[in-house]
Amino acid sequence: MKLSCLPVSLYPDLTAGTRTLADWFRFAAELGLDGADVSVVHLPGYTAADLRPVRKQADEAGVQIAMLVTYADFTHPDAAERARQVEEIKAYCDVAAELGASFMRVTAGQNHPGLERAAGIEWAVAGLTACLDKAAATGVTLCYENHTKGYAWTYNDFSQPADRFLEIVKRTEGTGLRLLYDTANTLGAGDDPLSVLEQVKHRVSVVHVNDIRRAGYFEPCLLGTGVAPVREIFQTLVQSGFDGWVSVEEASKSGEEGFRIAIPRAEALWQAAGGAPRGQT
């Protein structure tokens, strides 16, 4: 496997400009990571002229931009806005390709007040699949996440509870849509992450390693100090033949020390679950 990180704990600094993406790439390299994930909200712009320096910064630090994180809201009640969201995600495919990111995180959308289950699933499936041809043309793999709440979103993701996520996965079977499986989000909504994973493991291309303090509540904590069954999830993935990107979603808000603890802990859990050390298959 290859190891990356989504630096959620650094989002306030990146948003405020007190830390740059170049700083993040250098820190990722210091942590010994193979990759460094980036959110679209922290990019300086979306043109090639904006993005080439960002990719160069990652290259100079010696890390790959593994995944571009986006916040599609395909479940918005306004049809015009849903159409705009599709065009935005298509445009982000070009952004990801320019950055050299092989994967792009996509979401179903927010659980807007009054949104009915059937309509939400229909709109999510339509939005997600509408972007697949563009993704294929740019060489980017779209990965739908069992997500909780987007940065700056008002509402939680429509994909919770897990039966909605599973139905969307089922309705997109046979397409090019892959999955980003988060180790804690499903548990945070009160569902069994191992049971859900068992049903979708054949579609998983990337893993987010996350931990929460208690089941049924989304309260991120330092990896290994909460209740997410990370080792068991890794075991299921290893046994199914997964050997892709594992990205630590560090959201414990414990500063740089949190990253220094979480990164080696994730790698140790992977090997304890039977996964091959990095660089070996």
Rounded Cα distance between 26 and 13, Å, is 15
Domain count, the chain: 1
Burial class for 10, CB neighbours closer than 10 Å (0-12, 13-18, 19+): buried
pTM given for the model = 0.97
Residue 107 has pLDDT above 60, yes or no: yes
User: Residue 249: inside a domain, yes or no?
Assistant: yes
Instruction: Quote the pLDDT of residue 281.
Output: 56
Instruction: Quote the pLDDT of residue 152.
Output: 86
User: Residue 277: inside a domain, yes or no?
Assistant: no
User: Residue 278: inside a domain, yes or no?
Assistant: no
Instruction: Quote the pLDDT of residue 175.
Output: 98
Beta carbons of 231 and 269 less than 8 angstroms apart: yes
User: Residue 172: inside a domain, yes or no?
Assistant: yes
Q: Strand (E) positions, the chain?
A: 2-6, 38-39, 67-69, 103-106, 141-145, 178-182, 204-209, 212-214, 217-220, 245-249
Rounded Cα distance between 148 and 128, Å, is 17
User: Residue 98: inside a domain, yes or no?
Assistant: yes
pLDDT digits (tens, 9 = 90+) for 129-179: 999 999 999 999 999 999 999 988 999 999 999 999 999 999 999 999 999
Binned at pLDDT 50, 70 and 90, residue 279 comes out as confident
Domain span at residue 209 reads 2-272
- Of 124, 129, 152, residue with least CA distance to 12: 152
Instruction: Quote the pLDDT of residue 261.
Output: 98
Binned at pLDDT 50, 70 and 90, residue 183 comes out as very high
Amino acid letter for position 31: L
User: Residue 196: inside a domain, yes or no?
Assistant: yes
**CATH number (domain holding residue 107):** 3.20.20.150
